[in-house]
Amino acid sequence: MQEIIKADKKYRNKLFLVYILCITALGLGLWLGLRPFLHYLDHLNFSPLMNVSEACIMLFLLCIIGPSCFLIYVGRKIIISRRMPYPGQKVIHDTKLLEGKKAVLRGRMLLYLGIAAIVISLAGAARSHYIFEKMRHFNPFAGMSKAV
């Protein structure tokens, strides 16, 4: 008979509340900040616009590193304990306990997924920086005047 880890309902409610608050804050931030930010970008010259654009792309790419480190952490805990969910882990719904090779395989998948996401994020940031550096030396809009 397969052991079932029971859901922690208080944890689930708290987690969903945090999700709702984060989504609300993100939506509010976009609603209040996107139009002024686009207005700011519209009034920049080419070189500062390149710098701000590069910073935004780097920010989006490098934000992936935090959750990826969490995946690596969880994957290592699963591999070490040889069970999923690992001892002491809270779950938000009733979960069948996996032990042995299946748990280690899933732990390795989480570990490799986290490492791959970090590598892809860093490679994307490096490639983006390289492309922006190439574009800094060539201004396609140099001969054009800004329309009013």
4-27 pLDDT, tens digit each:
888 889 999 999 999 999 999 999
* Chain centre to alpha carbon of residue 57: 13
In a domain? residue 143 = no
Task: Say how many domains are in the chain.
Answer: 1
Residue 2's pLDDT band, with cuts at 50, 70 and 90, is confident
In a domain? residue 104 = yes
Query: Angle 62-67-71 (CA atoms, 0-180°, nearest 5)?
Result: 130
In a domain? residue 62 = yes
In a domain? residue 59 = yes
In a domain? residue 107 = yes
pLDDT tens digits along 106-127: 999 999 999 999 999 999 999 9
For the entire predicted model, the pTM comes to: 0.80
Examine the pLDDT at 139 and tell me if it is beyond 80.
Answer: no
pLDDT reported for residue 46: 79
In a domain? residue 114 = yes
Please state, in angstroms and rounded to a whole number, the distance separating the CA atoms of residues 25 and 145: 39
Examine the pLDDT at 146 and tell me if it is beyond 90.
Answer: no
Range of the domain at 130: 46-136
